[in-house]
């Protein structure tokens, strides 16, 4: 009989232009399903997060959150293996609360993405609980410096996508936890290149996801300040640079980005569904992106699930350095930079031998990101 696993995440929490976020959790669900596990996806949502298409508060049943969740689950044939629960009410989509509580009693592992799942009747019933840290450095600072309960307690193993968290050159807190590390998994069959590469290097992200945080006198910020450090880059490279960016048109930096040659497109268009997000990546020439200031300044070794999708689609990735070179091969397919000059140089290097870098990107994904390999190791870390 197949072992049962539950993945807890936040797919419904970002229903408008949030398909990239959905893919981050889908890779775990689809990957464990490919490995032969009886796999379930679970999530709960507060009424305050339920919105309509104009971002206005609405009841759970009428929300864009519920609609998006249902669309995603139906697309991947997960409706009989999922549950979205109204945290402060009786509503549910997919399996009801009572059925999830029953299934939990025979579940060997629950993977709790960013500790978002809090339902004690489920967490207490599963055999083992794995905390999956997707925001290394920030999560630990919120816990240690600001006293925010990140739900770290009550898990049997703690795993982070910050490959360098806890290393001597990473100055950020660990909350007294011995963090294991993982790369984001990719179900390679979902990302087979099907169309020729497009003309532009792209990325997807938030301009300002949340406020900066302070740790031992140092402030750690968001992507906005890192993009502003290299704002003149489009004028120095021979290829278009495009940002699929969640940024308000009234943001003071918006006009500066356009004036310096950055193309700006909307996540509501390109990240509306898992398919549009995947198509956007496949039709890109590659990914070029900075990271959150906290990831770079904190030397977290953060590796992006979005970059993993580009690599799996055979699209080279050029990303701001977070300390990756100590843990992964860089220079072919995956390149890092630290400033404006090294960013321009990396783009020129890829363009000088694009096909070789594209081939290396796909090879990197096969070697390091294949869900069968990544999730097999994750199961071992969890004691399966």
Q: What is the Cα–Cα distance from 49 to 56, expressed in whole angstroms?
A: 10
Q: What pLDDT does 288 receive?
A: 98
Count of CB atoms situated within 10 Å of the CB of 235:
9
Q: What is the Cα–Cα distance from 35 to 340, expressed in whole angstroms?
A: 42
Q: What is the Cα–Cα distance from 32 to 34, expressed in whole angstroms?
A: 5
Q: What pLDDT does 197 receive?
A: 96
Q: What is the Cα–Cα distance from 174 to 239, expressed in whole angstroms?
A: 40
DSSP-based three-state secondary structure for 108: strand
Which residues 6+ apart lie within 8 Å of 98 measured at CB? Answer: none
DSSP-based three-state secondary structure for 150: coil
Q: What pLDDT does 208 receive?
A: 87
Within the chain, which residues score under 70 in pLDDT?
A: none
Q: What pLDDT does 8 receive?
A: 98
Q: What pLDDT does 250 receive?
A: 86
What single string gives the DSSP state of each residue in 269-332? HHTSSHHHHHHHHHTSSEEEE---HHHHHTT--B--HHHHHHHHTT--EEEE-SSGGGTS--SS
Q: What pLDDT does 282 receive?
A: 98
Q: What pLDDT does 319 receive?
A: 98
Q: What pLDDT does 249 receive?
A: 84
Q: What pLDDT does 182 receive?
A: 98
DSSP-based three-state secondary structure for 186: strand
Q: What is the Cα–Cα distance from 28 to 6, expressed in whole angstroms?
A: 10
Q: What is the Cα–Cα distance from 283 to 281, expressed in whole angstroms?
A: 5
Q: The tokens of 307 are what?
A: 């970059």
Length of the chain in terms of residues written: 384
Place of tokens 């109204």: 86
Output phi, psi for 202, to 5 deg. Answer: -130, 175
Domains of the chain with bracketed CATH: 4-186+371-381 (3.40.50), 188-368 (3.40.50.2000)
Q: Across all residues in the chain, what is the average pLDDT?
A: 97
Q: What pLDDT does 210 receive?
A: 86
Stated pTM of the model:
0.97
CA-only gyration radius of the chain, Å: 20
């Amino acid at each position: 009989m197949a072992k049962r696993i539950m993945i807890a995440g936040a797919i419904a929490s970002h229903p408008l232009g949030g398909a990239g976020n959905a893919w981050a959790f889908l890779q775990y669900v689809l990957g464990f399903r490919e490995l032969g596990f009886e796999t379930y996806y679970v999530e709960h949502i507060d009424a305050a997060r339920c919105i309509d298409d104009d971002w206005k508060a609405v009841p759970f049943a009428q929300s864009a959150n519920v609609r998006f969740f249902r669309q995603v689950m139906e697309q991947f044939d997960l409706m009989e293996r999922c549950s979205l629960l109204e945290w402060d009410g009786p509503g549910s989509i997919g399996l009801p609360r009572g059925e999830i509580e029953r299934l939990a009693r025979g579940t060997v592992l629950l993977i709790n993405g960013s500790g978002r799942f809090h339902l004690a009747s489920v967490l207490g019933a599963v055999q083992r609980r794995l905390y999956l840290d997707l925001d290394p450095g920030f999560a630990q600072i919120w816990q240690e410096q600001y006293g925010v309960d990140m739900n770290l307690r009550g898990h049997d193993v703690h795993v982070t996508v910050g490959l360098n968290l806890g290393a001597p050159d990473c100055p950020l807190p660990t909350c007294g936890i011995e963090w294991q590390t993982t790369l984001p998994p990719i179900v390679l069959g979902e990302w087979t290149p099907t169309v020729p590469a497009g003309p532009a290097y792209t990325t997807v992200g938030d301009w300002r996801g949340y406020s900066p945080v302070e740790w031992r006198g140092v402030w750690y910020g968001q992507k906005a300040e890192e993009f502003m450090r290299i704002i003149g880059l489009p004028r120095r490279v021979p290829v278009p640079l495009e940002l699929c960016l969640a940024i308000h048109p009234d943001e003071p930096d918006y006009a500066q980005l356009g004036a310096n040659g950055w193309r700006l497109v909307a996540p509501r268009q390109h990240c509306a569904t898992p398919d549009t997000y995947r198509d956007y990546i496949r039709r890109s020439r590659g990914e070029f992106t900075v990271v959150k200031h906290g990831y770079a300044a904190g030397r977290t070794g953060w590796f992006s699930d979005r970059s993993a999708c580009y690599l799996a689609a055979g699209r080279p990735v050029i990303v701001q350095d977070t300390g990756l070179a100590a843990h992964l091969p860089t220079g072919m397919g995956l390149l890092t930079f630290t400033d404006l000059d090294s960013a321009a140089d990396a783009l020129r290097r890829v363009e000088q031998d694009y096909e070789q870098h594209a081939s290396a990107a796909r090879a990197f994904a096969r070697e390091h990101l294949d869900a069968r390999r990544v999730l097999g190791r994750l199961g071992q870390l969890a004691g399966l």
